[in-house]
Chains A and B, each alone.
Chain A
Amino acid sequence: MAGGTIAAPRRFRPTSGLFLVLGLFLLWEVSARTGMVDSPNWPPLSRVLAALVRDTLSGEMPMLVASTLARMFVGLAAGTLAGVALGLLFGASRFAARMLGPTVELLRPIPIPAIIPPLVLFLGLDNTMKVTIAAITAFFPVLTNTAQGLRAVEADQIAMARTFGVPAWRRLFRVTLPAILPYVMAGLRVALALALVTTVVAEMIAGEQGVGHYLVLMQFAGRAEEMYAAVLVLAVLGYALNRGFLWLERRLIGWFFATGRNG
C-alpha cells in the first residue's frame, strides 16, 4: 500500500454539471419532437447524432476535424514562438517595450474576424491565410503573458545565477524560461480556445476546407442535422482541447501548482 490511499470510485453528484448538459440535450430533443420549436432548422438531437455517426463512419468528419486541427496547431505553434520571442524582448528591454508597446496595444483589441478580409487580400483563401489567423490569435495572449512573466521572475533567481557565473544563454534556458513557463502556458490556454474559434471562422468565410466550410455548406444545403453535427463536434473538440491542455499543464509545470499557486 505504499504510495498513498486508494481513490474511491468517482460518482456523479446531483450537482454535477453533467446533469445540466444532459438536461439541455433532453430539452433539445423534446423541443424539436413536440413542436415547441417548429422549424426544420431545429432537428431532434437524436437525428443530429445519427448524422454525426454517418459522417464519422464515412470518414468525412474525421478528415475535416483533422484538417481544421492541423491548421490550428501549426498557427498556434508559430504564434506561440513569435509571442514568446517578442514577449522576452518586451520584458527584457524597456526600449523595445516603449517602441513596440503602443503598436501591440493598438492591434491587440482588434477582433480577429475583422482582419480576415484584408488577410484574404494579401494571403489568399487557403492554408496560409487560415494558419496566419490562428497564429495571430495565439500571438497576443502569449506575448503579453510572457512579458508579464519575465517581469515577475524573481530578481533573486537571476542574481543568484549571475553570482554563480551562469552564462547569459544558459540563464535564459535554465532559469528564465522555466520560471516564465506557467505564464506562457496561461497565455497559451487562452490562445487555444480562441484559435479553434478563429480557424473555424476563417474556414467559414472562404475556401473549401475544414469543419467551418462544411458547416456553412450544410447550412446552405438545408441539411440542419449535418450542420448541428458539426457544431456538436466543435463543442466536443473545444472541451477536449481544454481538458488535454490542463493535463499537459499539470505534467509540464506540476512544480508550479505544487507551490500552492493556481494557473
Chain B
Amino acid sequence: MSEIPTNVRYTSSHEWVRLEDDGTVTIGITDHAQDALGDIVFVELPEIDSELSQGAACCVVESVKAASDIYMPISGVVVDTNQVLVDEPEMINSSSYTDGWIFKIKPADEDDIEQLMDASSYEAECDDE
C-alpha cells in the first residue's frame, strides 16, 4: 500500500501539493506515482520565473519504463526547483514527499489548493485505478 500523508493535497494526475508557511507551494509526485513509474533516471525541471496555468505540462520525469509529464496542479509562477534531482533523480523514488520534491511555485491564488483532493479522496481514487 502506498503512503498517502494527510498534510498535502493531491491531483488525479498524481502530483502532491503542500502550502508552506511562507506562502509558496511545494509540488512533487506521490508515492503511488513513483511506484508505478519505477526507477526514475532523469528529471527535467521547469524554468524559474515561468508563469504556468493549471493543467499545463511543466516538467518531465523519466523512468526506466516511460517519460511522463508533470502537470501544474494550480496556476502560479515557478520560484524554485530541486537541484538535487539533477544528479540524484532516484530521490523521488526513495523520498517522494520530502527530499524528492520537484519545484515550488508562488500560487496565483492560494485558495486554488482547496479544490484539490485530500488524502482520503486520493486514496479512494488510487484504489479505483
Do A and B originate from a single complex?
no
Partner-A contacts on B (CB < 8 A): none
Q: Which residues of A contact B (CB under 8 A)?
A: none
